Structure formats: structure tokens, C-alpha cells
Amino acid sequence: MTRQKRVILEVLRGTKSHPTADWIYEQAKKMIPDLSLGTVYRNLNLLKEMGEIMELNYGSTFSRFDGNPHNHYHFQCRQCGRVFDLDLPIQNKLEKETAEVSGHRIDNHRLEFYGVCRECQASEPKN
């Protein structure tokens, strides 16, 4: 556990914003000024393998990262782009059902919702 890895994990654990690698890099640089972006990517991959963080890589050309390693679901606003955590309970029933019907062994699943977040709805024109 190097200083770089520790700081990167702290930055990610300290936000609920599901940031990009570049945002994490900018924040961590405040603690380690000569940090390099390559090191951020390397450590994000290591932390992912260690099961400490999650990578959210869907519907975009770049990844976001999540400091909460326990499976949970996300909502992405297609207007402001932000990603929110959801409180929906994990649907293990679906895994079991799918395994039975398909014959595949299922280890995990991902569920994401898309739409317009509460705040963006409020600032939309009221037609």
C-alpha cells in the first residue's frame, strides 16, 4: 500500500459523485503534486482487482469509479450526466431465475436506470 494508492482510495471514498479517473487525478494531486495520471489508472485497476472499488463503464467513452465495492444500482441523468446511487434492494431472485432458465452459471449482475434526475426536471421548461 503506497502513498499514491492510499490517497487515491481516500479521494474516491470521500465522494459520492462517481468521478472519472481525471477528476480523481486532479484531487489527489493536491496531496501529491507530482502524481502522474498513469499511476492513477494503475492504482484504480489494482484497487478494482482487490475488490475495494468498482468501475462503472457503460454508455460512455470513459469510465467512472465508485468507492463503494458492494453491489448496488445506479441512475444516470441523461441531461446533467450525474450518476446517483439507488436504494433498491439487490434482486438475487433474478440471478437464480436466469440461471435456471438459461443453464449458465451466474456470478453477478448489473442494473442501471436512465432518465432525468429530480433537479433537472425542476429546471426544465413547464410546457
Q: Which of 42, 47, 64 is nearest to 55 (CA)?
A: 64
Q: How many residues bind a copy of itself (CB under 8 A)?
A: 37
Q: Does 125 bind DNA (CB under 7 A)?
A: no
CB 41 within 8 A of CB 5: no
Which of residues 36, 91, 92, 98 is near DNA by CB under 7 A? 36
Q: Does 102 bind DNA (CB under 7 A)?
A: no
Q: What's the Cα-to-Cα distance from 105 to each of 34, 38, 71, 89, 99, rounded to whole Å?
A: 45, 35, 18, 22, 6
Which of residues 70, 104, 125, 127 is near a copy of itself by CB under 8 A? 104
Q: Does 100 bind a copy of itself (CB under 8 A)?
A: no
Q: Does 108 bind a copy of itself (CB under 8 A)?
A: yes
Q: Which is nearer to a copy of itself, 2 or 71 (CB)?
A: 71
Q: What's the Cα-to-Cα distance from 62 to each of 11, 20, 23, 33, rounded to whole Å?
A: 19, 7, 12, 24
Q: Which is nearer to a copy of itself, 29 or 82 (CB)?
A: 82
